[in-house]
């Protein structure tokens, strides 16, 4: 199957979140299944720096833009997946991350930047760049590529299209005047197309026009058809439910495995867990916490936003820290109010709480390995990866029953323990009290060394390899071509 895989970020080229992890792992997994998969991304400075050898294969213009665009070809580092980078310096050669300036504000011309990207995607998908290659399926990811299925729908013949929703909360909403700037056809300015409460919604381009839609977990595919999780798009998604499915994300165990993780001070496995204690001691030292092998060390890695429930973590853990019942380590950045709250709490409990605002890949690995319990009380979670990493690292995850968290973590009870199926702790209500109660229940299990070790080992033996997910995507591609 020939597949053009379009994304705004992919590890190891550029990463701001889980989207990059997925898009850096799925194409190589598809390639291993003998698919002819090729990737296309914007040529951000980080991509140009990390891509290795590149060559120019096309120079052209697209509708609505006066600038010459260059298409660069290389390979996704560490793989044999062909890579195309869309080089338009005016739009992509900027400091900051792909979507925001250094001051944290969105680029004011994001609608132009990603509309240009989508127009190039379609030109490549239609084999109009003289590369003598055309995909059978165009696979787009999140709002940054949402206009591509819409633009593609205006052409015949054309490849089939699949649109993957990694997070419905990020919709690519822009003021209505953007329609004129982007030279969008009048029929796009409708409720059943791109119009969304008087704005243009890029994500609706994918949801309304793609032949098939999928999310990154089965539970999330069901949730987004409800008012609670649909972010105003539940009606459209329910109407397209026959074309909507959920495929659980995989994990790249070549990168996330304590047996061979180069970021860890000591490695360990299900056969020998001794290295995990060394990782805990090293993590305590890194953050200046009181050395204590027995004290439960709770950890969290993620964006500091309401979705991730960081406020719940802070609220639930404050009384436990005050009683010196736990230690806590948090790595992440995001909303300034949450960052400020976390800083204040870390200052009050300096010997028991470690905090790093920002992101550090090596430290993220060390936290997964050094923690005893991974907290992930997300209000919603399309799939989530950290809870899967935590399972492999023998750090039982404590999660809310939502999205991919519900699909990957089995709650601890007398029944699931007896059946050898328990892998973590699951709760329902998005409140400090519910989280605190669940943490306290987990600490009681932690006090039983034999039961806790059983929980760790069961989690470490779980497998969410990309091969299974890639096979499911391959089957979905076949469905797309028959649509």
Give the pLDDT confidence of 21-53 residue by residue, as tens digits.
899 999 999 999 999 999 999 999 999 999 999
Q: pLDDT digit string (tens) for 102-142? A: 888 899 999 999 999 999 999 999 999 999 999 999 999 99
pLDDT of the residue at 371: 99
pLDDT of the residue at 179: 83
Percent helix, percent strand, percent coil in the chain, to nearest 5 = 40, 20, 40
- Placement of tokens 């165990």 in the chain: 253
| C-alpha pair distances (Å), 301 with each of 25, 259, 291, 305, 394 | 20, 21, 21, 12, 16
The two domains 2-250+466-482 and 274-460 share their CATH topology (first three levels equal):
yes
Q: pLDDT digit string (tens) for 379-425? A: 999 999 999 999 999 999 999 999 999 999 999 999 999 999 999 99
Entry field: residues in the chain: 483
pLDDT of the residue at 95: 87
Rama region for 314: left / alpha / beta (φ>0; ψ in -120 to 50; rest): alpha
DSSP 289: P
| C-alpha pair distances (Å), 154 with each of 117, 131, 158, 194 | 17, 22, 9, 14
Q: How far is residue 336 CA from its own chain's centroid?
A: 21
**Domain 274-460: CATH architecture, name and number where available:** 3-Layer(aba) Sandwich (3.40)
Compute the distance between CA of residue 468 and CA of residue 145 in angstroms, rounded to an integer: 25
pLDDT of the residue at 102: 83
Q: Which two tokens stand for residue 70?
A: 């260059």
pLDDT of the residue at 178: 86
Q: Which fold has domain 2-250+466-482?
A: Rossmann fold (3.40.50)
Buried (b) or exposed (e) across 191-200, using 16+ Cβ within 10 A? eebbbbeebb
Report the Cα–Cα distance between both ends of the chain, in Å, rounded.
Answer: 15
Nearest to 317 by CA among 437, 407, 458, 166: 437
DSSP 410: P
Compute the distance between CA of residue 235 and CA of residue 242 in angstroms, rounded to an integer: 13
pLDDT lower than 50: segments of the chain? none
Q: What is the pTM of this model?
A: 0.91
pLDDT of the residue at 462: 97
Do residues 38 and 83 make contact, with C-beta atoms less than 8 angstroms apart?
yes
The domain spans of the chain are 2-250+466-482, 274-460
pLDDT of the residue at 103: 83
15 is in an annotated binding site: yes
Measured CA angle at 283 (ends 341, 275), to 5 deg: 150
């Amino acid at each position: 199957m020939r597949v053009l895989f379009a994304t705004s970020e992919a590890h190891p080229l550029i990463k701001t979140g889980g989207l990059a992890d997925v898009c850096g792992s799925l194409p190589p997994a598809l390639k291993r299944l003998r698919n002819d998969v090729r990737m296309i991304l914007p040529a951000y400075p980080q991509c140009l720096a990390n891509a290795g050898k590149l060559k120019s294969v096309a120079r052209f213009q697209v509708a609505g833009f006066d600038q010459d665009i260059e298409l660069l070809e290389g390979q996704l580092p560490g793989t044999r997946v062909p890579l195309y980078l869309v080089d338009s310096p005016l739009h992509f050669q900027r400091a900051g991350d792909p979507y925001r300036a250094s001051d944290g504000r969105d680029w004011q011309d994001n609608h132009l930047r990603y509309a240009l990207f989508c127009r190039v995607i379609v030109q490549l998908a239609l084999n109009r760049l003289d590369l003598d290659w055309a995909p059978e399926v165009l696979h787009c990811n999140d709002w940054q590529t949402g206009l591509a299925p819409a633009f593609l729908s205006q052409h015949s013949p054309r490849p089939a299209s699949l649109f993957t929703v990694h997070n419905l909360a990020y919709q690519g909403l822009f003021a209505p005047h953007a329609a004129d700037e982007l030279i969008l056809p009048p029929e796009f300015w409708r409720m059943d197309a791109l119009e969304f409460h008087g704005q243009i919604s890029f994500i609706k381009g994918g949801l309304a026009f793609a032949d098939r839609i999928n999310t990154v977990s089965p539970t999330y595919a069901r949730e987004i058809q409800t008012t609670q999780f649909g972010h105003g798009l539940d009606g459209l998604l329910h109407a397209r439910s026959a074309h909507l499915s959920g495929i659980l994300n995989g994990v790249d165990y070549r990168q996330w495995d304590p047996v061979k993780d180069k970021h860890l001070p000591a490695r360990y496995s299900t056969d020998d867990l001794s290295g995990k204690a060394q990782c805990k001691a090293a993590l305590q030292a890194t953050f200046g916490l009181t050395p204590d092998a027995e004290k439960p060390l709770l950890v969290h890695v993620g964006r500091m936003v309401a979705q991730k429930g960081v406020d719940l973590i802070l609220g639930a853990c404050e009384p436990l820290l005050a009683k010196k019942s736990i230690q806590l380590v948090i790595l992440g950045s995001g909303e300034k109010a949450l960052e400020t709250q976390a800083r204040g709490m870390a200052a009050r409990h300096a010997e028991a709480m470690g905090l790093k605002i920002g992101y550090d890949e090596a430290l993220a690995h060390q936290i997964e390995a050094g923690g005893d319990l991974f907290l992930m009380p997300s209000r919603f979670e399309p799939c989530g990866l950290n809870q899967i990493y935590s399972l492999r690292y023998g750090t039982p995850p404590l999660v809310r029953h939502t999205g991919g968290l519900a699909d990957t973590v089995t709650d601890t009870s007398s029944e699931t323990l007896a059946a050898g199926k328990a892998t973590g702790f699951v709760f329902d209500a998005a409140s400090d009290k519910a989280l605190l109660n669940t943490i306290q229940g987990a600490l009681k299990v932690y006090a039983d060394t034999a039961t806790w070790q059983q929980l760790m080992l069961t989690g470490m033996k779980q497998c969410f390899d990309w091969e299974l997910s890639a096979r499911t995507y391959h089957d979905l591609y076949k469905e797309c071509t028959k649509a």
